[in-house]
Amino acid sequence: MIEFKNVTKRYEGGFEALRNVNMQLDDGEMAFLTGHSGAGKSTLLKIIALIEKPTRGQALLNRINLKTISKNKVPYIRRNIGIIFQDHQLLFDRTVFDNVALPLTIQGYRYQEIAKRTRAALDKVGLLGKEKAMPITLSGGEQQRIGIARAVVHKPMLLLADEPTGNLDPALSREIMQIFVDFHQVGVSVLVASHDLSLINDLQKPVLTLNGGQMTHNDLQPIVGYQS
C-alpha cells in the first residue's frame, strides 16, 4: 500500500522534516505513527496525501510514485484515501449529511446512491439521527465522528488520521480509535498519527516512531536493501 524508500523532506530554508525514512505498510495493515511534535509525523502523512512532495527518495502509494505524479491526476489519487484531521475540517455552512456526502458528490454518484451510502457511513459512526443537524451544534467527539464518516463514505483503500483524538477526553479517544480498528478488521489499510502512547499500547498494533525526522522504531516489515 505505502512504500517509503530513503525519503527525505527538506523544506525551504533548509529544515529537514524527514531524513532517510524507510517504511512499508502492506494492504490491509494498520499501524500507529508516534513521536514528539515536530518529529515529522505530519510531514509523512502529507507526503502520502500528496500535499507535500519528497525532496529525495521514493514514496509509493499503490506502486504510484508520489513525487512524479502529474498535478491533474492528484485528485484521482486522493479519492483512494480517506483523511481525518485533528480539527475535523468540517464545512459549517451545511448539514451533517451534506458534509459526509461531499466525497460522493465530488465523484459523481447519483443522489439515491449518495443518500444510501451517507446514511450507512453515519450509522457506522453512530450518528444516523443527526444527519439534518448543523455541525456547529454537535460536540467535539461527534464532530470528529462526522469527519471519520466523511473519510470512509467513499470506501477508500487507505485511511490516514492526523492526531484524531488530540482534543478528546480518554473515553472518547478510545471510542474513536476503536472505529479505526473496526475499519482495519474489514480490510482497510489504516495509518494513525498519535502521541497518545497509553492508548496505542492497549490496542496492540504495529508502531512506527519518528524522532527528529528519523525513523527510530519500526514494527512493520522492513524493506530489505534500503536500510540507511
Partner 1 sequence: MVMATSTTRRDRPEAANRLLAYFIHHLQSLIFSLGKIYTAPTTTIMTVAVIGITLSLPSGFYVFLKNIEAMSGDLSSSTQISLYLDLNINETVALKLSKKLAHQANVQETKFISRDSALLSFRQSSGFGKSIDTLSSNPLPHTIIVIPKRSSDRFVIKNLLNSLQSLAEVKLAKLDTEWLERLFTILEIAKRAVGIITLLFAFAVLLIIGNTIRLDIQNRYQEIIVTKLIGATNAFIRRPFLYGGLWYGLLGGIISWLIVELGYLAISGPLERLNLLYQSELDLVTFSLQDFIILLTSSALLGLFGSWIAVAKHLNQIEPK
Site residues for partner 1 per CB under 8 A:
28, 49, 51, 72, 75-79, 81, 83, 89, 91, 93, 102-103, 105-111, 113, 120, 123-124, 126, 150, 152, 155, 157, 182-183, 185-188
Question: Residue 116 or residue 217: which is nearer to partner 1 going by CB?
Answer: 116
| Shortest Å distance, C-beta 146 to partner 1 | 12
Question: Residue 6 or residue 167: which is nearer to partner 1 going by CB?
Answer: 167
Question: Residue 49 or residue 210: which is nearer to partner 1 going by CB?
Answer: 49
| Shortest Å distance, C-beta 228 to partner 1 | 28
| Shortest Å distance, C-beta 28 to partner 1 | 8
Question: Residue 185 or residue 228: which is nearer to partner 1 going by CB?
Answer: 185
| Shortest Å distance, C-beta 204 to partner 1 | 19
Question: Residue 130 or residue 150: which is nearer to partner 1 going by CB?
Answer: 150
CA angle centred on 50, ends 60 and 45, rounded to 5°: 80
Rounded CA separation 91/80 (Å): 21
| Shortest Å distance, C-beta 75 to partner 1 | 5
